Chain A
Amino acid sequence: MTTRTGHLDPAVARALSALSAAAKQGLGDPALAELVVIRASQLNHCAFCLDLHLGIARQHGVPERQLDLLAAWEEAGDVFDARERAALALTEAITVLTDGFVPDEVYERAARHFDDTGLAHLVGLVVAINNWNRVMVSRRVPPGGYTP
């Protein structure tokens, strides 16, 4: 594989981190945040992001069974609860934007499990990981593992 630029402006990197931190903190559910972030990274094929966030998820105690079945969460029975499923459906809709819009039923399902503040931060978190996915995939940053 050809090498690509490793350059990322430090101010951009700091701003990306600040956005992720603000969204994650506002959501206030680190385990759910990791499920959301990992699912978006699967859809966007970001190896660096998957490697990092699988490590963080394990640190936050996300069950191994959830991590194993996340790519097929809709078929995974009761491995994910209704709130997690609503968040994952919204994550997918916001991530695969070029195929269409965010459907009303997906948005309304999320709105039944999250209040407006929770929703705003959940949307923010999906946006933030989509940023990282784009920055890492386009520069082809190799997976670097996770060090707690």
Chain B
Amino acid sequence: MSAQTTTTTTGTGTDTDTADTAAADGSARAPEHAPRLSWTERAPEVYKAMIRLDAAARRGLDPALYELVKIRASQLNHCAFCLDMHTKDALAAGESVERIVQLGAWEESRHFYTEKELAAIELTEAITVLTDGFVPDEVYERAARHFEETELAQLIAAITVINAWNRFGVSTRMVPGHYQPGQHA
């Protein structure tokens, strides 16, 4: 939370003074937005179905690899809430800051990742940016060399599911910043 959103009258009023000072010198952060819609409350059966789908899709996948997939898809889909959640979960699970930061430019930082991870990240991009075209043969075939058929089908499902969470997050404008690692694990 940033100072300017805190307007409590408890104590000496220092918070308000800090906010006024910050607003005056331009160092204040922008105010936090509110979500557009509490979709999990308005469509609880849809939310439950998403939870079941998520559990089914992640079965058999390496959790560390799946976090990279989730972060990259969330970057492409611009889902702030999802980035907040999955970067925190990845860090808590022991992922390195470097590998998380470099995901945004993975093509230029290939030596941070294994060939298997790179194949998964490339497939993630192709399946995520679907409106620009299809999933190219070379991308699919590279993934098929690193993942046996059952695991590949799970990877495709898992990429689909993070795309689903991204769509809920962005369209209902879920608020990033408050996630605690493991909260939704």
A binding-site residues for B, Cβ under 8 Å: 2, 4-5, 7-9, 11-12, 14-16, 18-19, 22-23, 26, 43-45, 90, 93-102, 107, 116-117, 119-121, 123-124, 126-128, 130-131, 133-135, 137-140
Q: Interface 1/0s, chain B 132-146, versus A by CB < 8 A?
A: 111101001100100
Which one of B2-10, B17-25, B51-59 contacts A? B51-59
Range class of the B interface residue count: 35 or more
Q: Using known A-B contacts A93-B171, A124-B43, A137-B130, determine if residue A100 contacts B78 with beta carbons closer than 8 Å.
A: yes
The smallest C-beta distance from B39 to any residue of chain A, in angstroms, reads 4
Complex contact B46–A135 (CB within 8 A): no
Contact with B164, one of A90, A131, A138 (Cβ below 8 angstroms): A131
Q: Using known A-B contacts A44-B130, A130-B164, A138-B156, determine if residue A123 contacts B171 with beta carbons closer than 8 Å.
A: yes
Complex contact B131–A5 (CB within 8 A): no
The smallest C-beta distance from A62 to any residue of chain B, in angstroms, reads 23
Q: Is the interface of B mostly helix, strand, loop or mixed?
A: helix
Complex contact B126–A138 (CB within 8 A): yes
Q: Give the distance in Å from the alpha carbon of A76 to the alpha carbon of B153 in the complex.
A: 39
Interface-central residue, B42, B144, B160, B171, by most chain A CB under 10 Å: B171
Complex contact B157–A8 (CB within 8 A): yes
| Chain A residue contacts of B123, Cβ below 8 A | 138
Q: Interface 1/0s, chain B 33-75, versus A by CB < 8 A?
A: 0001111001101101110110111010000000000000000
